[in-house]
Amino acid sequence: MVNKLEIQSKMMQAVETVRRTNPMAGSITNTVTINLVANAQLAVGGSAAMVYLPDEAEFLAKAGGAMYINVGTLLPIYEETLPYVAKVLHETGKPWVLDPVAVGIGSLRTKLLQQLKAYKPTIIRGNASEIIALAGLWGLDGGTDESNVRGVDSTDSVSEAKAAAIALAKWTEGAVAVSGETDLVTDGSMMAFCYGGSHFMEKITGAGCSLGGVAAVYATATSPFIAALTATAVYNVAGKRAELKVDGPGSFQVQFIDELYKATAEDIANNSLDVEEVSFL
Ligand SMILES: Nc1ncnc2c1ncn2[C@@H]1O[C@H](COP(=O)(O)OP(=O)(O)O)[C@@H](O)[C@H]1O
Ligand SMILES: Cc1ncsc1CCOP(=O)(O)O
Ligand SMILES: [Mg+2]
């Protein structure tokens, strides 16, 4: 039985804990959106630290409360850094978030994402095509061999990614967040649909990447499902509010960070949300 009030209460606790404790979530992320990732993490109350090298990544994995790995742009050193730090995170039981940006494109990205399967990301956050393609790469239900990923964008709908998201969550025993106009968050047994945000979020680079970084901040304070849900909800609140105050994507990005900063625990927990049990039919 899904208890929506209990879920909302846990979301509020996560927001308040992060605001109170300023937890550090280290990131290995892409060079396109790295600044927005860090600023979004700070806006919700986290502390950001971005690295590329194996020993620095190990340090952050051990020193921080969670870690974020995003494969949007790859550097040769990632061939060493990513599997090394993912192993450390998995073996120490530290939460970590994977954004499989552009899965299916390029041999190194494919090799690294295949290697990361064994280290079971606590949260996987991607758009619908990325979630479907990752499930396919990992040989799980709902996945496809032919990626519909178009660069970093999705050509599939969130509902088309439902089976893949459930299969990924069951494999990792964590949570999966599929982002889009309506977001889907699942832990394999519960499924939440989250509403809000703005069409402008498709017109700025890094809305998805930074959402993954914010999920890592909340993963320092709560369960994978609640962390993914809270991050998704604060993005929906901030996007909706920012849209009302701007008339273009440039000013939207600036206002969006302000709205992330201003959103209260009540605003976030009360954002429009439907939760149901995953039907096993
Ligand atoms: N059309 C839309 N309307 C409202 N929110 C959206 C829309 N498209 C994306 N978002 C929001 O933007 C964020 C990033 O989602 P998305 O653009 O799907 O990820 P990515 O950037 O990885 O492709 C999420 O918070 C999502 O809810
Ligand atoms: C454009 C681009 N190219 C490689 S990573 C990246 C940013 C993708 O950001 P997001 O997935 O949040 O749109
Ligand atoms: Mg993305």
In this structure, are strands 66-70 and 24-28 parallel, antiparallel, or unpaired? parallel
Give, as one character, the DSSP assignment of residue 53: S
- Would you mind telling me the total number of residues written for the chain in this entry? 281
Q: How distant is the alpha carbon of residue 41 from its chain centre?
A: 12
Residue 152 pLDDT level (bands cut at 50, 70, 90):
confident
Q: In sequence order, what are the residues at sequence separation of 6 or more whose Cβ sits closer than 8 angstroms to the Cβ of residue 266? A: 12
Verdict on whether the full-model pTM lies above 0.95:
yes
Region 15-40: mean pLDDT is 98
Report the distance separating Cα 121 and Cα 64, nearest Å. 16
pLDDT at 144: 85
Nearest in space to 148 (alpha carbons), one of 121, 168, 128? 128
**Ligand 1 atom closest to Cα of residue 153:** 23
pLDDT at 281: 53
Residue with tokens 């000013």: 251
**Ligand 2 atom closest to Cα of residue 30:** 5
Q: What angle separates helix 4-21 from helix 207-219, to the nearest 10 degrees?
A: 90
Q: Answer whether 183 contacts ligand 1 (Cβ < 6 A).
A: yes
Nearest-CA residue for ligand 2 atom 11 is 208
- 279 belongs to an annotated ligand binding site: no
Nearest-CA residue for ligand 2 atom 3 is 72
The proportion of the chain whose per-residue pLDDT surpasses 90, expressed as a percent, equals 92
**Ligand 2 atom closest to Cα of residue 127:** 11
> Hey, what domains does the chain have and what are their CATH numbers?
4-270 (3.40.1190.20)
Q: Answer whether 202 contacts ligand 1 (Cβ < 6 A).
A: yes
Asked if the ipTM is above 0.85, the reply is yes
Q: In sequence order, what are the residues at sequence separation of 6 or more whose Cβ sits closer than 8 angstroms to the Cβ of residue 131? A: 100, 124, 161, 164, 165, 168, 176, 178
The residues facing 68 across adjacent strands are 27, 97
- 50 belongs to an annotated ligand binding site: yes
Is the pLDDT at 47 greater than 80, yes or no? yes
